[in-house]
Structure 1
Amino acid sequence: MPTTKANGINLYYEVHGQGEPLLLIMGLSLNSKSWFRTLPALSEHYQVIIFDNRGVGLSDKPNTPYSIELMAEDARAVLDAVGVESAHVYGISMGGMIAQKLAIKYPERIRSLILGCTTSGGANHVQPGADVSMLMLSRGSSIATPEEMAWATAPILYSQSFLENHRELVAEDIQKRIEIPILPYAYMLQLQACLTHDTYNEIDQIQVPTLVIHGDADKLVPYENGVTLAEKIPNAEFLTIQGAGHIYVTEENDFVNNRVLEFLKSKL
């Protein structure tokens, strides 16, 4: 079980496949298992590195303040542990926030950047609806089981159409998430890091090739946030996933994987 020491804690990571290195960074409350729909396609062509952010999975879960910048330092430590000088980086949701900070602070470590369903944060962040915000905040104090809470949040993570027509795929996602459920305090620490994230005045510093991906039915991180990233990052490409919610990696798995591979291959 590979782990590395970073900022006083142990981080769990895995390496799959061969080729140019590609670091995948997962979102709020989720561990590396949630890449299960993405990993097989990408690891056929790349050396894919996945890891558990602090607070989730098999990584340590310190009960001290988290920040996006600190988690970017964690991600850099994972690259160091694998012996990778620079990598393509793909982050979704909170992972996209971490990827932004990594690219801004350590541009020499980034070959290209993929930012999925994420935001630059700060005062210019377009907020979700009040009902969505209240539900996300309540997760930290809920007495529901992990499975019950996962189903309660499903309507804000998936488009209504997908939830109605592909409930079995949502159930597969949920089973992966609850194999190692996040502890309530760790969830709140990650959420607080997300709420204080702000790269709005820095993202124009990103000079590496960038692909922004966003579902236009995203209730958790509204679509306008993806538009902002694509407009502010120089020469960024923007991929809209029509009708998809926040978890577009499930709703349009094959299409997105193929588009990501096309983008990465074009940057070789």
Structure 2
Amino acid sequence: MPSAKLSNINMYYEVHGAGEPLVLIQGLSLDSSAWADQISAFSQKYRVIVLDNRGVGQSDSPNIPYSTAMMADDIVELLKFLNIKNAHILGFSMGGTIAQQIALKYPEVVKSLILVATSAKFPARARYLTKLWLKMLEEQVSTETRLQEICLWVFTDEFLADEARVTAAVNLGLNHAHPQPTHGFVGQIAALLEHDTRDEIHRIYAPTLVLIGKDEIFIPLNFSEELAANIPNAELVISEKGGHNYWMEFPEIFNRAVMQFLAKVA
């Protein structure tokens, strides 16, 4: 399995397809394997790079506080390792906060920016929830119950009404080949709670697409509106379907929006 030895960690990554580089950055607790529906679609036209952030999957999980700037450094170092000078950068949720940091710290690396279900500062409800998830871990609530609770915040009523789909999603987490270590989860949450780019995003000049599902409740619409209003070259697209994980629940809609934006940028 490909792994890049960076200055601070070993980072797992995969490269699929050929063309202009497109980097996909996952959210809290998720690793590169969750991008399956995007890899199959995007790799037909782009060189798709997926990776496991520090603290999850097959990348190292140092037992220290993380920051979104630190994780941005990891990804830019990976791109240098791969000899990639610039790329389209797509980040979902926590991945979107990391993508903002890449655009701010390394603007020359970013051909275009796609921010999915994310924010310049983590909302109060999401902050409360992530602290609650840490408490559930400390109280040794079962992994199955914790995964079921998370489904309430990231999927639509349509998804939750289908018991088979919910069970499949929960089982995917329960049977993951590389379960996230507790300290990796804690480190990633620390990064989210610290993140605040509200006073900086006006400096992002890459063409930017802000994507959100109309049924989003974890990071509500006004946080995407804030990003789109304050990033000079940004446009906001609200999906007619989907909540926080709409890229997973409705991949055709999500993939089409991304491909249309990338075609326009090109």
TM interval, short-chain normalised: over 0.9
Q: CA deviation at 1:105?
A: 0.6
Q: CA deviation at 1:152?
A: 2.0
Q: CA deviation at 1:237?
A: 1.1
Asked if the contact 2:127/2:193 (under 8 Å) is kept, the reply is: no
Q: Structure 1: any 5+ residue segments left out of the alignment?
A: none
Worse-matched range after superposition: 142-151 or 68-77 = 142-151
In the alignment, structure 1 residue 152 sits paired with structure 2 residue 166: no
2:20 corresponds to which residue? 20
Normalised to the residue count of structure 1, the TM-score between the two structures is 0.92
Q: Structure 2: any 5+ residue segments left out of the alignment?
A: none
Normalised to the residue count of structure 2, the TM-score between the two structures is 0.93
Distance 1:76 1:130 in 2: 27
The count of aligned residue pairs is 264
Q: CA deviation at 1:175?
A: 4.1
Asked if the contact 2:89/2:113 (under 8 Å) is kept, the reply is: yes
In the alignment, structure 1 residue 248 sits paired with structure 2 residue 246: yes
Q: Share of identical aligned residues, percent? A: 39
What is the alpha-carbon root mean square deviation over aligned residues? 1.9
Q: CA deviation at 1:263?
A: 0.5
1:69 corresponds to which residue? 69
Q: CA deviation at 1:216?
A: 2.8
1:218 corresponds to which residue? 216
1:193 corresponds to which residue? 191
Partner SS state of residue 259, structure 1 = helix
2:151 counterpart letter in structure 1: A
Partner SS state of residue 45, structure 2 = coil
Asked if the contact 1:140/1:185 (under 8 Å) is kept, the reply is: no
In the alignment, structure 1 residue 80 sits paired with structure 2 residue 77: no
1:2 corresponds to which residue? 2
Distance 2:76 2:245 in 1: 25
Distance 1:152 1:126, change over 3 A: closer
Asked if the contact 2:214/2:243 (under 8 Å) is kept, the reply is: yes
Cα offsets for 1:154-194 (capped at 9, x unmatched): 101112232214x4444444444441221222111100110
2:244 counterpart letter in structure 1: H
Q: CA deviation at 1:151?
A: 1.5
Distance 1:139 1:216 in 2: 29
